[in-house]
Amino acid sequence: MMKPRDVNTIEQAKRIVEERGLTHVKVGIFDTDGVMRGKYMSKEKFFSALDHGFGFCDVVLGWDSKDQLYDNVSYTGWHTGYPDAPVRIVPDTCRDLPLEEDMLLFIAEFCEQAADLCPRNLLHRIVQRAEAMGFDPFAALEYEFFVFKETPHSARDKGFKNLEPLSPDWFGYSVLRNSVHSDLYQQILDMSEQMDFPIEGIHTETGPGVIEAAIAVDQAANAADKAALFKTFMKVLAQRNGLMATFMAKWSNDYPGQSGHIHISLKHRDGSGSAFYDPSQPHGMSEIQRHFLAGQQRLMPEFLSLIAPTINSYSRLVPGFWAPTDATWGVENRTTALRIIPGSEKTQRIEYRLGSADGNPYLAMAAALASGLYGIQNEWEPEPMVEGNAYEQQHPGHLHLPSTLWDAAQRLKNSKAARELFGDAFVDHFAASREWEEREFRKHVTDWEMARYFEII
């Protein structure tokens, strides 16, 4: 019997479906916000789609995470009638769905004109740029997420207030907590192995019911697939256990925000090893790593909306809560936006600490990788290294990060580098989608406004 992760071709995809005697297969595609949209397809339709592609309503590129339709984009909308866009199934993404017996899952991606806007396709274009420059990019993502003793119904009934976390109080790296809840942890570990997003480490973080999981390193394109699948099916697993997992950047002002850090490195395609490691240089940083770091630093303010894509993302980016507020870098310094991790030929890397848990893994990875490649291309040099607490130091104005989603969208829209790296079609569409998100937010009155103004003003 063929194993799902041995599938590489269309014929092998058909074979494994036949071997399992499946009448239907699950197919999913990730939208602009990193939400997996999909359907069950009959075997006959699935086989035809493998050979010829199929059509998927392009509304998933024209609505937000609440299925509300953008009114400010040109690619799709009422003016186009929301037609089907061409989509291809990617055979080598085949996965077991352990929560559904013998069911199989395949990832799909948009083609032709829609490919310009497709997050997965965008990342693959950036990876191809790296390969053309002689590099193979490797990456690993790690996520913090809170788990609650709630269901989608109970959370809404409570108005998302007074939610009960899986465990109380602050207790990071707790053996007590992960032993008491070992059944849940084991389910997470088992699922991650069976679906091929293996977890290198998992532990409680500081805060009630918060868990951090580090996904094992892989080539950058594969790493993004694994991260996107982890976020999706961690939520599925939680709900099947009568729980809820959230990847919001910050669900409460009483607790730290939730990050989605990216560890990234380059290897030479010619087999000569790490492009980041040079033992003769300070901190083992090669010239290539220095330029890569400089690109990430200089373009971080322009690419922020790709890394922090929601209104809520900016509630996390405040001083003192382990989230950077300026495009700074340091060596083994967790107060900076970019952390150099010195090591060896195998371990020398950069941790892109800006990322929020709510980010789309494909877009966050594309931003972190593309900016670094642009730094290499232009032979940029980084600003001086930060030592000590970055929050307590003054930094040049050009290192300040936008403080709202609207401002971040404007920086992206006006970024020459973004248009060169990602294309005009994507930049215009994504920036418009973030402007929409900010306008949707401004339609609502918050609890803070009511408590501050209702009686007194």
Cβ–Cβ under 8 Å, residues 4 and 95: yes
**301 domain-assigned:** yes
Local structure of residue 60 (DSSP, 8 states): G
Per-residue pLDDT, 256: 84
- Same domain? For 91 and 75 the reply is yes
- Same domain? For 337 and 229 the reply is yes
- Same domain? For 113 and 141 the reply is no
Q: Give the pairing of strands 104-110 and 95-96.
A: antiparallel
Helix (H, G, I), strand (E, B) or coil at 138: strand
Return the residue matching tokens 């997965």: 120
Cβ–Cβ under 8 Å, residues 336 and 282: no
Domain extent for 309: 125-405
- Same domain? For 84 and 174 the reply is no
Local structure of residue 30 (DSSP, 8 states): E
- Same domain? For 108 and 161 the reply is no
**95 domain-assigned:** yes
Q: How many domains, in total, are found in the chain? A: 2
The last residue of a domain, from among 117, 146, 168 = 117
The last residue of a domain, from among 117, 146, 176 = 117
- Same domain? For 172 and 50 the reply is no
Per-residue pLDDT, 247: 97
Per-residue pLDDT, 374: 98
Per-residue pLDDT, 390: 82
**340 domain-assigned:** yes
Instruction: Say how far apart CA 127 and CA 81 lie, in whole Å.
Output: 33
DSSP 389-434: -GGGS---GGGBPPSSHHHHHHHHHT-HHHHHHH-HHHHHHHHHHH
Per-residue pLDDT, 329: 96
**437 domain-assigned:** no
Q: First and final CA of the chain: distance in angstroms?
A: 71
**324 domain-assigned:** yes
DSSP 67-129: SPBPSS-SSSSTTTT--EEEEEE-GGG-EE-GGGTT-EEEEEEE-GGGGGT-HHHHHHHHHHH
**428 domain-assigned:** no
- Same domain? For 266 and 299 the reply is yes
Tell me, what CATH number does 316's domain have?
A: 3.30.590.10
Tokens of 406: 């609207």
Tell me, what CATH number does 77's domain have?
A: 3.10.20.70
Instruction: Say how far apart CA 371 and CA 379 lie, in whole Å.
Output: 12
- Same domain? For 147 and 53 the reply is no
Return the residue matching tokens 């890397």: 349
Local structure of residue 285 (DSSP, 8 states): B
Angle formed at CA 40 by CA 35 and CA 41, multiple of 5 degrees: 125
Tell me how long the chain is.
457
Residues lower than pLDDT 50 in the chain = none
Per-residue pLDDT, 321: 64
Per-residue pLDDT, 236: 98
Per-residue pLDDT, 309: 97
**419 domain-assigned:** no
Instruction: Say how far apart CA 170 and CA 205 lie, in whole Å.
Output: 8
- Same domain? For 168 and 79 the reply is no
Cα 7 to the center of its chain, rounded Å: 25
- Same domain? For 367 and 396 the reply is yes
The last residue of a domain, from among 78, 98, 117 = 117
Q: What is the 3-state secondary structure (H, E, C) of 291-334?
A: HHHHHHHHHHHHHHHHHCCCCCHHHHCCCCCCCCCECCEEECCC
Cβ–Cβ under 8 Å, residues 251 and 146: yes
- Same domain? For 81 and 159 the reply is no
**414 domain-assigned:** no
- Same domain? For 97 and 134 the reply is no
